[in-house]
């Protein structure tokens, strides 16, 4: 019943916003845990969230979508993935960039990382049109969360990561059959 649409060019699929009333309830329940594991920052947490469906076939991915990514360089932004699918697709993988050794990016790290990725591409060419499930050749997968139905993972959004997408399996736009998740971002309110 959600109105799924392409919201940003970075996400390889469609999204629909989570009801703000649900976000408020989740914030009430999650704030003590966010403070315990990622804070506290002495300010209330803010939240944005979407239902998300990966629908872009591997052959249609933009080159940047074929590399692990970060959701930003702010280490106070926390990402959450709640897995609502029972497909052959997996959860979330985390990576280390081989040339720099970086697993997370700050604003200070980003220029060095971006230059190293450009050098990687100049040396070996663009990555193949595929989801970066394993990260090769320029990234090493250091951890993967399986993505079991109705489970969630929370992590700092500046950690290099990617969805574990089976490049050989179909990607349905039907929420009942596709890789449906809820993606959320939490950050301390501006002080």
What totals of helices (H) and strands (E) does the chain contain, helices first? 2, 8
- Domain total in the chain: 1
Is the pLDDT at 152 greater than 90, yes or no? yes
1 is a domain residue: no
151 is a domain residue: yes
39 is a domain residue: yes
Taking only the tens place, the pLDDT of each residue in 14-65 is: 999 999 999 999 999 999 999 999 988 889 999 999 999 999 999 999 999 9
What mean pLDDT, rounded, does the chain reach? 94
65 is a domain residue: yes
4 is a domain residue: no
Residue numbers of the domain that contains 171: 13-188
Is the pLDDT at 1 greater than 70, yes or no? no
**Domain CATH number, residue 91:** 2.60.120
3 is a domain residue: no
């Amino acid at each position: 019943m959600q109105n799924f649409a392409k919201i940003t060019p970075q996400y390889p699929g469609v999204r629909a916003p989570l009801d703000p009333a649900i976000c408020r309830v989740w914030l009430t329940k999650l704030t003590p845990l966010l403070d315990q594991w990622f804070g506290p920052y002495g300010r209330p947490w803010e939240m944005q969230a979407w239902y998300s469906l990966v629908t872009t076939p591997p052959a249609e991915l933009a080159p940047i979508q074929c590399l692990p990514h970060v959701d930003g360089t702010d280490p106070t932004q926390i990402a959450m993935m709640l897995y609502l699918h029972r497909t052959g697709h997996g959860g979330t993988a985390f990576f280390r960039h081989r040339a720099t050794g970086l697993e997370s990016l700050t604003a200070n790290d980003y220029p060095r990382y971006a230059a190293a990725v450009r050098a990687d591409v100049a040396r070996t060419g663009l990555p193949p049109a595929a989801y970066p499930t394993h990260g090769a050749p320029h990234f090493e997968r250091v951890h993967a969360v399986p993505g079991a139905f109705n489970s969630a993972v929370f992590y700092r959004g500046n950690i290099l990561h990617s969805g574990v997408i089976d490049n050989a399996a179909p990607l349905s736009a039907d929420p009942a059959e596709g890789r449906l998740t809820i993606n959320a971002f939490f950050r301390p309110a501006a002080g």
